[in-house]
Structure 1
Amino acid sequence: MPSLGTDPHSVRQRVEAMEKVLERMFVIPGINKPVGLDVILDIIPGIGTISAAALGSYIAWEARNLGMSKWQIARMGGNIGFDMLLGLIPWIGAIPDLFFQSNTRNLRIIKRHLDKHHPHTKTIDVQPR
């Protein structure tokens, strides 16, 4: 369970947990593609897309609290906005969202920042095959 502290290690734990819920909650059998709440919410027209964007914005908010540059925050906002535009297409918008995964992209931006400025928070990523 991620802690509620404001230190970089706690922030890393929270954004990694949020990204997992939004993008990799379970794997679709047969195609081995991870799916999370972001895609599921995109199936609900309107409110689902807005809810997914709001949850994704939490990751950008945590990045702002880390003191990341305005450019990095803007890139993250662009990822969230593009993902939201894709999701506005009822039902069909969930398909490109399977491949774009804005929250995973935003997590990579945060990890690069943390690895550079707070290397003590670095963790070993184990990717399933």
Structure 2
Amino acid sequence: MMDVRQEDRRPFPGLGTDPQSVRTRIETMERLLEHIVTIPGTNQKIGLDVILDLVPIAGSTAAAALGAYMAWEARNLGMSKWQVARMAGNIGVDWLFGLIPWVGAIPDLLFKSNTRNLRIIKRHLDKHHANTATIEAKLR
């Protein structure tokens, strides 16, 4: 058998339950849902959330389920019921708009519920787990 060193058995980064790992996961999820593709000829970015909204009913529901994952992570961080309820409201509004076939993707371009929810979670993390804060720069 092969000899596996101790440092080679480390878990994947971001799989822990510590606040920094949670922050990494939710930032990645938000990027996937809101910012993976730039619309040609514009600076507007879209993500899986908008793309899924093009599939009537099932797409919007799948996007809401992915967004609910962020709220679940927030609940596990110990965020208040009010904060988690606000996040659920954002997800619900996004889901309702997405139920309108094809046209529902347009409000999603403007509302970006997952970005709003990420802001709520980051505010909590910055206040209660300051060591997870990161410096963010806007790239041109």
Within 5 A, what are the aligned runs for 1:27-42? 27-42=38-53
Query: What is the Cα deviation at residue 12 of structure 1?
Result: 0.2
Local SS of the residue matching 1:48: helix
Residue in structure 1 matching 2:120, options 88, 109, 112: 109
| Equivalence for 1:60 | 71
Question: Are 1:123 and 2:134 counterparts?
Answer: yes
Counterpart contact for 1:22–1:36, Cα < 8 Å: yes
| Percent identical residues | 69
Structure 2 portions without partners, runs of 5+: 1-11
Does 1 or 2 have the higher relative contact order (CA < 8 Å, sep 6+)? 1
Structure 2 distance, partners of 1:28, 1:20, is 15
Give the TM-score of the pair, scaled to structure 1.
0.97
| Equivalence for 1:91 | 102
Query: What is the Cα deviation at residue 29 of structure 1?
Result: 2.0
Question: Are 1:14 and 2:25 counterparts?
Answer: yes
Letter in 2 for 1:3: G
Counterpart contact for 2:14–2:20, Cα < 8 Å: no
Query: What is the Cα deviation at residue 42 of structure 1?
Result: 0.1
Structure 1 portions without partners, runs of 5+: none
Query: What is the Cα deviation at residue 2 of structure 1?
Result: 4.7
Closer, same or farther in 2 for the Cα pair 1:58/1:2, shift >3 Å? farther
Letter in 2 for 1:122: A
Give the TM-score of the pair, scaled to structure 2.
0.90
Local SS of the residue matching 1:17: helix
| Equivalence for 1:4 | 15
Closer, same or farther in 2 for the Cα pair 1:83/1:97, shift >3 Å? same
Alpha-carbon RMSD across the aligned residues, in angstroms, is 1.0
Local SS of the residue matching 2:15: coil
Highest Rg: 1 or 2? 2
Q: Deviations over 1:55-87 (max 9, x none)?
A: 000000000000000000000000000000000
Question: Aligned residues, how many?
Answer: 129
